[in-house]
Amino acid sequence: MYSASESRYEKMKFNRCGKSGLKLPAVSLGLWHNFGDNGDFGNMEKMCFTAFDNGITHFDLANNYGPMEGAAEINFGKILRESMHRYRDEMIISTKAGYYMWPGPYGDWGSRKYLIASLDQSLQRMGLDYVDIFYHHRMDPETPLEETMEALEQIVRSGKALYVGISNYDGPTLEKATAILEDRHVPFIINQNRYNILDRTIEKNGLKEKSKELGKGIICFSPLAQGLLTDRYLDGIPEDSRIRTDGRFLKESQLSSEKVNSIRALNEIARRRGQTLAEMALAWNLKDEYITSVIIGASKPSQILDNIKAIENTSFSADELKEIDDIAIKIQ
């Protein structure tokens, strides 16, 4: 039986999520990759144990994480049930719905029908009575925003989620969603969006500044740009890399010679700071006080330990930030 390290809270930094009472670890573990049917269950366990032993209390999932859809929730539920159930009250478990899950008009997007049914299925797969955070995973161009937000309200009122969030929204839609949810006194506390040195979308679409203005937390996924902001691709494409083994999200065409040279330049800045490129990239996200957490992915426990080191130095000089921005602008 797994017993958590008694020193698990000694090093991790915890940040308040917007203006809410909830704090999240600066580094969270995402189960987007490597927790599906094609993963090794023993390795999944080790990664969850390593994360929790080092203060990562937040485990981020979604209904469609796999492969196949739902597989990550099933595997995480098994780990909870068999090894970690006694620590449930020390854990923040989140899931989402918004992308395709099953055939027909009721298994996608943002209708009340889909969101409530999907969460019921997620709870069943994980063996939970509730999740700590439930997200709508993406904006729906057809379903009225009021309906989607009312579904989130119903989910909280039913006790199936303690807090709600939205993911992949822009600033204007965030503001509209906030008005609806706050009028109904729904604990909407967090936005989940892609954000890293190479992807500044939330700066351009108003989400970052609007979140700060409205007092909502931001949790960043893909802070390492699917592995580009690591030392993996500085000297070519390894055969065991994500580009070679899973080309759905990171393709060889994205790795131009110009981009590789820019990544090498970023790596040189990290070297001067006494960090790996991955550590610096995570620290760059965490430098802003209103970034609540970064979601890391991992294929082995050692990567989790390496990434946690980022919290040791999240301060940047003005010259460093300008140099990073100048490099990033060239390849955006």
Domains held by the chain: number: 1
Q: Cβ(181)–Cβ(216) under 8 Å? A: no
Give mean pLDDT, residues 243-269: 77
* Element containing residue 167 per DSSP (H, E): strand 161-167
Tens digits of residue pLDDT in 17-65:
999 999 999 999 999 999 999 999 999 999 999 999 999 999 999 999 9
Distance CA 32, CA 329 (A): 28
In a domain, 245, yes or no: no
In a domain, 31, yes or no: yes
Q: Cβ(95)–Cβ(115) under 8 Å? A: no
In a domain, 178, yes or no: yes
Give the pLDDT band (50/70/90) at residue 120: very high
Give mean pLDDT, residues 145-157: 98
**Domain encompassing residue 154:** 14-225+285-314
In a domain, 2, yes or no: no
In a domain, 162, yes or no: yes
Is 60 exceeded by the pLDDT of residue 245?
no
* Element containing residue 323 per DSSP (H, E): helix 318-331
Tens digits of residue pLDDT in 77-112:
999 999 999 999 999 999 999 999 999 999 999 999
In a domain, 165, yes or no: yes
Give the pLDDT band (50/70/90) at residue 259: confident
Is 60 exceeded by the pLDDT of residue 247?
no
Q: What CATH number does the domain containing 60 carry?
A: 3.20.20.100
In a domain, 331, yes or no: no
In a domain, 186, yes or no: yes
**Mean residue pLDDT across the chain:** 95
The closest of 309, 228, 296, 307 to 267, measured between CA atoms, is 228
